[in-house]
Amino acid sequence: MSRQRKTVVSVVGARPQFIKLAPLAPVLDQRFRHRIIHSGQHYDYELSQAFFGQLRIPAPDIKLKVGSGSHGRQTGQILERSETALIKMKPDMVLVYGDTNTTLAAALAAAKLHLPVGHVEAGLRSFRVDMPEEINRTLTDHLSALLFYPTAAARDNLRREGITRGLTASGDLMYELLASVRPSLPEYAAVLNHFGLEKEKYILVTMHRVENADDPDRLRLFIDIARSIKEPILFLAHPRTIGNLRRHKLLGKLRAVPNLILGRPQPYFETLALAGHARAIMTDSGGLQKEACFLGRPCLTLRPETEWVETVTSGANTLVDLSPAKIHRALRRPPQRRARLSAAVGGRLPSRLITAAIERYLRR
């Protein structure tokens, strides 16, 4: 009689997590009973269902349907509901991804049930304890039995915090996915026509971080900066950012910026097509910083720091915060384009490295 396969549960809930899950899920399916819990942290079609459809991610086995809310409310609800789901599913390991409220809540639920946690994208640090993402990823690392770190800097961060066991150099799942789909991106270039854009003649902007999107003074500053830029700007605005602009009576002022095109978040392939043809990208998203680097597009990060320090040291990314002087200087002399990268570590793809490390752990 064949030995029953171990059960591994992935808990996801936000756009960046779906992207990380996409290349890993089919490999996990080959070796384990792989199940998916969707917290519902992102629930808009463009930020959730579109990714499952485009990236052919298996439908979630359980949907927690948490939705939006304050950090405490959202984290608490995911903790409570994921605990119930994990008790029912009885997994041998729980995988969490990145640094969202879903990440921390699911890791905490698993740890309290004495289930081993694997953290994909462990060890990243921005060294800003006032950032919700920094709190989430740091605490998750200290709850995890397996830590899949993407960079040498992430490994060093873990070691400095006394975490030396369960470490695996995994590489970057986001780049594995991008590298695999890159040949098909020209098929999605028509999205430029939808927004009336020409290749290399616009700036792509996203901005959703709490420190930017929840602060009316910074929203006003962003509008002033957009007005000062003379070339077309495509601003793909997160629903929460739009809600805050409306609440502070700033949405009309943003829409009045003559060179700005206001759009909704786009599915994965369309976002990559827009990023790949932009003259430059302005963002506070960690994922888009990396994608800009992978695509060879100059990136201006609308934060004073980044957890992806390699994008800065390589010259592909400039930290500009919301400084008009730094932004205009970077747009006049955009950062150099980064050399071609490889998704593999030692000749093996991240999805294979992560799966192999889980197998070794569960055989113990």
Average the pLDDT over 295-317 and give the result: 92
pLDDT > 70? residue 1: no
Summarize pLDDT for 238-262 with one digit per residue, the tens: 988 999 999 999 999 999 999 999 9
Which token pair is 309? 């320090």
pLDDT over 90 percentage in the chain: 80
Nearest to 332 by CA among 294, 298, 306: 298
Average the pLDDT over 124-151 and give the result: 95
Which token pair is 231? 């070339």
Instruction: Print burial letters for 175-209: b (CB count within 10 Å at least 16), e (below 16).
Output: bbbbbebeeebeebeebbeebebeeeebbbbbbbb
pLDDT score for 42: 64
Domains of the chain and CATH, by start: 7-172+344-363 (3.40.50.2000), 186-332 (3.40.50.2000)
- For residue 144, CA distances in Å to 161, 196, 310, 353 come to 13, 47, 24, 17
pLDDT score for 67: 75
Non-local CB neighbours of 132 within 8 Å, separated by 6+ positions: 71, 101, 210
Higher per-residue confidence, 348 vs 139 = 139
Higher per-residue confidence, 207 vs 40 = 207
Among 48-52, 202-206, 359-363, the minimum mean pLDDT is found in: 48-52
pLDDT > 80? residue 192: yes
Summarize pLDDT for 80-131 with one digit per residue, the tens: 999 999 999 999 999 999 999 999 999 999 999 999 999 999 999 999 988 8
Non-local CB neighbours of 136 within 8 Å, separated by 6+ positions: 99, 100, 101, 103, 104
Instruction: Print burial letters for 239-276: b (CB count within 10 Å at least 16), e (below 16).
Output: bebeebbeeeebbebbeebeebbbbebbbbbbbbbbbb
pLDDT score for 315: 87
Average the pLDDT over 288-298 and give the result: 92
Higher per-residue confidence, 56 vs 340 = 56
Taking residue 82's Cβ as centre, other Cβ atoms within 10 Å add up to 29
Assessment of whether the complete model's pTM goes beyond 0.85: yes
- How far apart CA 350 and CA 337 sit, in angstroms, is 24
Q: Give 348's DSSP letter.
A: B
Question: Which is it for strands 7-12 and 280-283: parallel, antiparallel or unpaired?
Answer: unpaired
Output the CA torsion sign for 20, 24, 29, 34: negative
Summarize pLDDT for 309-363 with one digit per residue, the tens: 988 988 889 999 999 999 999 999 755 655 455 666 767 899 999 999 999 999 9
Q: Kindly give the residue spans of alpha helices, DSSP state H, lying in 144-267.
A: 152-160, 173-181, 191-194, 210-213, 216-228, 239-247, 251-255
pLDDT score for 221: 97
Which residues are identified as catalytic?
Answer: 208
pLDDT > 90? residue 46: no
User: Is the Cβ–Cβ distance between 126 and 148 less than 8 Å?
Assistant: no
User: Is the Cβ–Cβ distance between 38 and 62 less than 8 Å?
Assistant: yes
pLDDT over 70 percentage in the chain: 94
DSSP β-bridge partners for residue 96: 11, 119
How does the average pLDDT of the chain come out, rounded?
92
Amino acid at 116: P
Return phi, psi of residue 182, to 5°.
Answer: -55, -40
> What is the chain's percent helix, strand, coil content, to nearest 5?
50, 15, 35
Nearest to 285 by CA among 210, 216, 206: 206
